[in-house]
A and B are shown apart, each in its own frame.
Chain A
Amino acid sequence: MSMEKEKDLRAVITVVGVDRVGIIARITGELAALNINILDISQTIMGDLFTMSMIVDMGSARKPFVEARDELVALGREMAMEIHVQREDVFRYMHRI
């Protein structure tokens, strides 16, 4: 099995934290500023815990992957939320045969 070269650079962003007004707005605003396109989004509330996962295309992002990732992680810290940014390959390799 070879690592396919993808035209787009897909990543999975997960956001976990205490629910409040404006979480999605703030994060999607940052993604728009970075020119990262959201392909899919899913969000649930468990108790008072907000969890969101997004599949995004970072292929045309204004910044290299690692820099964009660092900015999003920093934004999470600022919002007291946990934000993880991982290349989609992680999920494809782990969950798809």
Chain B
Amino acid sequence: MNYSPQEIIETVKMVQAEHLDIRTVTMGISLLDCAGDDGAVLCRKVYDKIMARAGRLVPVCETIEKELGIPIVHKRIAVTPISLVAAGIPADGYVAVARALDRAAAAAGVNFIGGFSALVHKGFTCGDTHLINALPEALAETQKVCASVNLATSKAGINMDAVALMGRIIKRTAGLTALAGSIGCAKLVVFCNVPEDNPFMAGAFHGIGEPETVINVGVSGPGVVLHAVRESPEADFGELAEIIKKTAFKTTRMGELVGRMASERLGTRFGIVDLSLAPTPAVGDSIAAILEEMGIQTCGAPGTTAALALLNDAVKKGGTMASSYVGGLSGAFIPVSEDAGMIAAVEAGAMSLEKLEAMTCVCSVGIDMAAVPGDTPAETISALIADEMAIGMVNKKTTAVRIIPVVGKKAGERVEFGGLLGTAPVMAISRLDSSRFIRRGGQIPSPIGSLTN
């Protein structure tokens, strides 16, 4: 036999018992050719183009799932930032574009569509301003549209006017979706150094350097890594890194295979595999559980950041060898509400926003799917965003904030977003005042490139 029974059983077990799956196959589609100055025409073109390119995405992925025996949890679409596509239309036309995206997503059968986005790290165009102002209403009136705004880069610094504005936009979005746990904010993320080929929501969009269409893949697999770590309770860190690398190689190979098959069948380019380990709310499919298995009592305890650094690096090393092209976020991806171990750690009082911020220094996304009390001032949210942007800017890495000030909720309560987005414990946030800092406005200059201590 070409494979040993052990190899065959290992693969079957990874899927059946350890939650190995492809987290997302995301099709990127350029909408630049839809631009124009008539809002209604633009909406029609956007809808038609998405359906023409992604109409077969879901059935193709479903066939691949059956042929390989590996679930593809999400099929998604990412489009050119709408602030570019809709730059020519009046401000009151942007919500209609969001609705057109929502209709296209529903018709294509995908659960999210990303790209209601703007890149404003060095300033606002008219299109950027219109889009950002339309965010609260667009996110309240659509189900599947995801939005992102890039506020900072290592080359340009931090646009603090945008940081201040986004604090207010997040609060307004929370208010307009108050009846649904302020869920609008769960579909809105702000970035520093945003990647243009990220397949994960809410931050996916189709960057302007990308081809006409592209397939990007995100792999899951915390459960598989957890199992491998659990099998070696006495391993030292060198051995542990080796075990995680080998496991990440195997899971990433599945992403590579699925990406190649999907792009070939859809007649499109294969872009990248994102090496992030993405958790799901299922028990045993948790990043926090891996860190705890390494010997941390509860995620958030001293040692958590070091454990995450080892995990993240080993996943990248194993994954890089497994795929010809890697990209996207590529780093442990820990949305609090979607990771059972993180939820437990928050509820046990072990995990705080401050610790999440520290963990950002060694993993890809900063504060993700963190619910905070609804009465948190906009300036405090902006200041928290500024901190995360500074970490990304100085360390030349991607950082992000997806924070949900849940209207009517206090620290210690819970908010249920349902299905894909999970359950979030409302986390305590500092009550100290940073409003004078945020009111200054302007641009934090980009950091010096030498003198690197």
Chain B interfacial residues counted at CB < 8 A: 25
Determine how close the nearest CB of chain A comes to the CB of B184; give it in whole angstroms.
Answer: 39
Contact A91 B1 (CB under 8 A): no
Contact A93 B257 (CB under 8 A): yes
Question: For the complex, what is the distance from the CA of A2 to the CA of B256, rounded to whole Å?
Answer: 10
Beta-carbon nearest neighbor of B255 in chain A: A93
* Residue B264, interface by CB 8 Å: yes
Chain A residues, CB < 8 A from B430 = none
Q: Give the interface SS of chain B, mostly helix, strand, loop or mixed.
A: helix
* Residue A35, interface by CB 8 Å: no
Known: A3-B261, A95-B3. A65 touches B256 (CB 8 A): no
Of residues 62 through 112 on chain B, the ones whose CB sits less than 8 Å from some CB of chain A are 63, 66-70
Contact A55 B257 (CB under 8 A): no
Contact A69 B67 (CB under 8 A): yes
Contact B68 A90 (CB under 8 A): yes
* Residue B125, interface by CB 8 Å: no
Question: For the complex, what is the distance from the CA of A69 to the CA of B253, rounded to whole Å?
Answer: 23
Contact B5 A42 (CB under 8 A): yes
Determine how close the nearest CB of chain B comes to the CB of A38; give it in whole angstroms.
Answer: 11
* Residue A37, interface by CB 8 Å: no
Question: For the complex, what is the distance from the CA of A69 to the CA of B157, rounded to whole Å?
Answer: 54
Known: A1-B324, A85-B69. A90 touches B9 (CB 8 A): no
Chain A interfacial residues counted at CB < 8 A: 29
Question: For the complex, what is the distance from the CA of A84 to the CA of B253, rounded to whole Å?
Answer: 20
Beta-carbon nearest neighbor of B1 in chain A: A40
Contact B3 A3 (CB under 8 A): no
Contact A53 B257 (CB under 8 A): no
Question: For the complex, what is the distance from the CA of A93 to the CA of B2, rounded to whole Å?
Answer: 13
* Residue B451, interface by CB 8 Å: no
Chain B residues, CB < 8 A from A85 = 69
Determine how close the nearest CB of chain A comes to the CB of B324; give it in whole angstroms.
Answer: 6
Interface residues, chain B, with chain A CB atoms under 8 Å away:
1-3, 5, 7-9, 11-12, 16, 63, 66-70, 250, 253-254, 256-257, 260-261, 264, 324
Would you list 23 pairs from A and B whose C-beta atoms are within 8 A, ordered by A residue?
A1-B324, A3-B257, A3-B260, A3-B261, A3-B264, A40-B2, A51-B9, A53-B5, A69-B66, A82-B16, A86-B11, A86-B12, A86-B70, A88-B2, A89-B68, A89-B257, A89-B261, A90-B254, A91-B2, A91-B7, A94-B250, A95-B7, A95-B250
Q: Lowest 9 CB-CB distances: which A-B pairs, in order?
A: A86-B69, A93-B253, A40-B1, A53-B8, A93-B257, A95-B7, A66-B66, A94-B250, A87-B67
19 more A-B residue pairs beyond the given contacts A53-B5, A90-B68, with a C-beta to C-beta distance below 8 A: A1-B324, A3-B257, A3-B260, A14-B9, A51-B5, A65-B66, A65-B67, A84-B16, A86-B68, A86-B70, A89-B257, A90-B11, A90-B69, A90-B254, A90-B257, A91-B2, A91-B7, A93-B257, A95-B250
